[in-house]
Amino acid sequence: MTISKSEISASKSISATELLMISQEISRKFSPVVSVKSSGLARRIALTPKELRDISEEITRKYVPTLKSKTSNVVVLPIDPENLYVFWNLGQAETTPGLVDNTKDIVLRIYPKPEEFPSTSIAEAWVDVDLDQTKTRQKVPFPKGQQACSYTAAIGLRDEDNRLTTLATSKAVHTPRGITAMHTASENKTLSTNCAQFSSNQDRLQNINKSASGQSAK
Amino acid sequence: MENGFLSIVLHAHLPYVRHPEHDSFFEENWLFEAITECYIPLIAVLDRLHKDKVEYRLTLSLSPPLITLLRDELLIERYLTYLNKRIELAEKEILRTQDQPGYQSLANYYLLFFQNTLDTYQCRYQCDLLSAFKKHHTAGKLELITSAATHGFLPALSVSETAVRNQVNIGIETFKANLGFAPSGFWLPECAYYPGLESVLADAGIAYFFVDTHAILDASEPPRSGVYAPLDCGNGVAAFGRDPESSRQVWSSKEGYPGDYDYREYYSDIGFDLDLDYIAPYILDGKTRINTGIKYHRVTGEGKPKAIYQPNVALAKAKQHAQDFIDKRQQQISQLSASMDWPPIIIAPYDAELFGHWWFEGPAWLEQVLRLASDAAYGVQTVSCGDYLKLQATHPIATPSASTWGDEGYSSYWINEENDWIYPYLHQAEDEMEKLATDLHGLAVSPLQERALNQAARSLLLAQASDWPFILKSGTTRDYAGKRITDHLARFNYLHDSIRKNNINERYLLALETMDNIFPDIDFRDFNPAIKPSE
């Protein structure tokens, strides 16, 4: 295909800035967009951004998350080989007169389940951890000296004779063994802290915080 | 003859950040920066390797939220606007730096970089990066796998097996709907494993997953081959452990490549360095400084004024580091082979966004590593874990230890005093969703009720993302993370209340469907604990 001289000279009369603006405008307005399977949800965007925002804000304002369980419950999550996190809710026990006796301690009773003897009765051994009654969650240490890899726990009221009035029990949880990691944990920490060094200016870390993986170096 | 295997695994993930309720939204830049600096450069690497007929295998995990964001029409449109603004800024920089040849040369470099990015995105792949990745999968070079639906931190959700099953299954379904096939591998969010999780993965048809080093070394039976052979979890699902040496070489600031003085300095960005009046059109609301992607300096070294970045020098250094990486893998494989009955496999998993975004030269390094490994003389053959399992059918049986790849190696980064408040709400919402699905089992629901129930399930899943507790702990954008959790839980509460009272406002429902349009094929019935999704 031949191009006439006049066409070439016409293009030369447009400045670089003008070319750029034209190019950008065309890109913005006429960019091909891949045709993908419609979600079926976005097909009826009949609401303006402001309407969406207003609805979102209203829902957030009126439906603030609240904990509303009427029954007692306890959830235990292992954190590392030495600690677990306990979340509890006394439910109606807290508000029913006489049910929670202030003279009794609220404790978490942890029942180790030794790996070698999984059928061992949970009543044979336990460790009590006092819970802070002003809280509903707490980090607590695993019982020392136990050769267990899984635990169950119960929350309840302990009397003077060490008897527990159980309010709720947890599912069994597995603890990390920590044989290797226990002695490399400090190294991990050092290295992962140092990892931020080539990202030395942390206060600028406001764009992608997708290093959000939290990956640590070993 | 190959002496051993190297499996490089990149995990690509971003939280679901999409805000049609705003004309523009800062956090959407996370996606735009990752596309520009990581995903498109990575595709360019794969294209060059393909063109040069290099024999390699690489594994890429694409998280379901990222898959959804990459296919979202609103974000595609906004990304094109973002990229054109970057081109405009680079043009301005060429004029501004006309008396500073070193800087002007870099401004030209960035203009070309952004123009090439636009060309690749728009012309070569029609704004569909998933098709680019799939092309290389089809070519037999790239193994694509996926992760949990919203990248939920599964140990904290394991209070409910249904919650974990839905994270796993909905993640896989999202992958299949967009890529057209089922993945054989699964990336556990944050490499977070707990004993029993392998059952859920087996039910979902998954053949393998990844864990950190100590999960293997502290397994129920001591592994004879350390992390250089997978464990069979007892149900045929294989666990592959991260190799600490290859991890250290990339991640450690002392020994890691990205901290090299010749590499580009991430934190030297004209969004922060130039006069506010000049840079205002390219930052947040014209006031708040943000990264623009135009960075003129190299790491340089501590206590020294930042020197100007030299791309050619940095590229040469990346090649040098690639050679070093392959040499060390070769040595490692030689040593391991002497004591193992079968060829060792070295697992080198990284966050994909490290490559190009944080470590600008990362894609060049990766390309050179794959080129070198294709030379049989090194005795380092790249494989995917799926390939390896086909070569080695039997493996030692043991249960890995509970672990993550985060700081300290366990769950403390995702469950601590900064973010522990979220879990009772998440557990309660999960419980309520399951009760809804159970109560409605076998009952007919109207189309409007079905939509509300499915939207409630979306809100729940979005609240479960591991990104929010991570950000609350790291402190980077705490307000945003806190608001996201609160918003999703509030949306769930609203829908739950509307469904229970049979008082669904279609306009409000449409608003929520428009804002949170992930998982179009979700089915609330999968939240009934009595019914496994496959039934």
Does residue A103 belong to the interface with chain B, where contact is any CB pair within 8 Å? no
Q: CA B249, CA B242: separation in Å to the nearest integer?
A: 13
Of the listed ranges A10-19, B208-217, B434-443, the one predicted with least confidence: A10-19
Asked if the C-beta of A135 comes within 8 angstroms of chain B's C-beta atoms, the answer is no
pLDDT, residue A191, reads 30
Please tell me if residue B433 touches chain A, with a CB cutoff of 8 Å.
no
From chain B residues 465-494, the ones with a CB under 8 A of any chain A CB are 467, 470-471, 474, 476-477, 483, 486-487, 489-491, 493-494
Residues 6+ away with beta carbon under 8 Å from B208: B184, B185, B186, B230, B237, B238, B239, B240, B385, B386, B389
A218 vs B248: CB contact, 8 Å cut-off? yes
Please classify residue A104 by burial: count the beta carbons closer than 10 Å to its beta carbon, then call 0-12 exposed, 13-18 middle and 19+ buried.
middle
- The torsion angles phi and psi of B253, rounded to 5 degrees, stand at -75, -25
Query: What is the rounded CA–CA span in Å between residue A175 and residue A151?
Result: 8
Task: State pLDDT tens for residues B392-423.
Answer: 889 999 999 999 999 899 999 999 999 999 99
Least reliable range by pLDDT among A141-145, A148-152, B333-337, B364-368: A141-145
Q: Which one of B71, B408, B487 has the shortest CB-CB distance to A56?
A: B487
Among B residues 439-458, those touching chain A with beta carbons less than 8 Å apart: none
Q: What per-residue confidence (pLDDT) applies to A142? A: 80
Kindly state whether B217 is in contact with chain A, defined as any CB-CB distance less than 8 angstroms. Answer: yes
Confidence of residue A186 (pLDDT cuts 50, 70, 90): very low
Residues 6 or more apart whose Cβ sits within 8 Å of residue B474: A209, A212, A214
- Nearest CB neighbour to B413, from listed A81, A178, A214: A214
Whole-prediction pTM: 0.89
Per the prediction, chain A carries an average pLDDT of 68
C-alpha span between B6 and B80 (Å, rounded):
37
Q: Which 3-state string (H, E, C) describes B382-429?
A: ECCHHHHHHHCCCCCECCCCCECCCHHHCCCCCCCCCCCCHHHHHHHH
Of the candidates A32, A40, A199, the beta carbon closest to that of B358 is on A199
User: What b/e readout covers B346-360, taking b as 16+ CB neighbours within 10 angstroms?
Assistant: bbbbbbbbbbbbbbb
Q: Residue B355: which pLDDT band, with cuts at 50, 70 and 90? A: very high
Tokens 């006092």 sit on residue: A130
The first and second tokens of residue B344, run together, are 């060792």
pLDDT of residue B254: 74
What is the per-residue pLDDT for A199?
30
Residues forming a β-bridge with A105: A158
**How many angstroms separate the CA atoms of A52 and B508, rounded?**
8
CA distance B1 to chain A (A): 31
Instruction: Give the distance from residue A111's alpha carbon to the nearest chain B alpha carbon, in angstroms.
Output: 18
Q: Tell me how far apart the alpha carbons of residues B512 and B508 are, in angstroms, rounded to a whole number.
A: 6
Residues of A in contact with B218 (CB under 8 A): 176-181
> Mean pLDDT, to the nearest integer, of B14-18?
98
**Would you say residue A198 has pLDDT above 50?**
no
Q: Which of B159, B411, B476 sits opposite A80 (nearest CB)?
A: B411
Q: What is the mean pLDDT of residues B501-529?
A: 97
Asked if A3 has any chain B CB less than 8 Å from its own CB, the reply is no
Q: What is the CA radius of gyration of chain A?
A: 31
Instruction: Give the model's pLDDT for residue A28.
Output: 52
Q: What is the DSSP letter of A65?
A: -
* Residue B251 near residue A215 (C-beta atoms within 8 A): yes
Rounded Cα distance between B88 and B80, Å, is 12
A212 touches chain B (CB under 8 A): yes
| CB nearest to B218's CB, from A59, A179, A189 | A179
Is A70 touching B (CB cutoff 8 A)?
no
Measured distance CA(B408)–CA(B414) in Å, rounded: 11
Angstrom distance (rounded) from CA B408 to CA B411: 8
Highest mean pLDDT: which range of A200-204, B67-71, B218-222 = B67-71
3-state SS string for B293-349: CCCCEECCCCCCCCCECCHHHHHHHHHHHHHHHHHHHHHHHHHHHHHCCCCCEEEEE
In angstroms, the CA B193 to CA B264 distance is 35
Name which residue leads in pLDDT, B364 or A151: B364
Does the structure's ipTM exceed the value 0.95? no
The whole-number pLDDT of residue B255 equals: 78
> What does DSSP assign to residue B377?
G
Q: CA B122 → CA B69, B79, B113, B119, B462, distances in Å?
A: 16, 11, 14, 5, 30
**CA atoms of A130 and A137, how far apart (whole Å):** 12
**Nearest-angstrom CA–CA distance, B426 and B486:** 10
| Closest chain A residue to B125, measured at CA | A34
Q: What tens digit of pLDDT does each residue of B256-293 get? A: 999 999 999 999 999 999 999 999 999 998 999 999 99
Contact B495, B452 (CB under 8 A): yes
User: Which residues of chain A have a CB within 8 Å of the CB of B121?
Assistant: none
pLDDT at A201: 28
Give B266's contacts in chain A (Cβ within 8 Å).
198-199
Q: What is the pLDDT of residue B534?
A: 54
Helix (H) and strand (E) counts in chain B: 21, 9
Cα–Cα distance, B437 to B432 (Å, whole number): 9
The beta-strand segments (E) located in B222-289 are: 231-232, 238-241
Nearest Cα residue to A27 out of B282, B92, B41, B86:
B86
Q: Does A122 touch chain B (CB under 8 A)?
A: no
Angle at A142 between CA A138 and CA A143, to 5 degrees: 130
Q: Is B529 on the interface with A (CB under 8 A)?
A: no
pLDDT greater than 80 at residue A12: no
Do the Cβ atoms of B347 and B11 come closer than 8 Å?
no
Whether A77 and B155 lie within 8 Å, measured CB to CB: yes
Place of tokens 């859920």: B200
Interface of A with B in 165-194 (CB under 8 A): 171, 174-181, 184-185, 188-189, 191-192, 194
pLDDT in tens, B159-171: 999 999 999 999 9
The 3-state DSSP class for residue B230 equals: coil
Question: Once rounded to an integer, what is the mean pLDDT over residues B526-533?
Answer: 86
Rounded CA-CA distance B211/B347 in Å is 10
Taking CA–CA distances from B253, the nearest residue in chain A reads A195
Interface test with A, best of B38, B197, B410, B519 (most A CBs within 10 A): B410
CB B227 within 8 A of CB B197: no
**How many other C-beta atoms lie within 10 A of the C-beta of residue B135?**
16
Round to whole Å and give the CA distance between A72 and A87. Answer: 11
Instruction: Select the more confidently predicted residue: A181 or B310.
Output: B310
* Closest Cα in chain A to B301: A198
Q: Does the pLDDT value for residue B495 go beyond 70?
A: yes
Residue-wise pLDDT for A129-164, tens only, equals: 999 888 999 999 887 766 667 888 999 999 888 899
Q: Name the least confident of A50-54, B108-112, B249-253.
A: B249-253
pLDDT at A16 over 80: no
Q: Which amino acid is at B343?
A: P
Neighbouring CB atoms inside 10 A of B60's CB total 23
Beta strands B231-232 and A127-130, pairing class? unpaired
Q: Which of B220, B218, B216, B219 is nearest to B229 (CA)?
A: B216
- Pairing mode of beta strands A83-89, A73-78: antiparallel
Answer whether B494 sits within 8 Å of A62, measured CB to CB: yes
Q: Is the pLDDT of residue A93 over 90?
A: no
Q: Residue A46: what pLDDT? A: 80
Considering chain B, what is the average pLDDT of its residues? 96
Token pair recorded at residue A137:
């969650």
Contact of A139 with chain B, judged by CB distance below 8 Å, is answered with: yes
* CB-based contact A165:A159 (threshold 8 Å): yes
- Predicted pLDDT at A115: 57
- Express as a percent the part of chain A with pLDDT over 90: 26
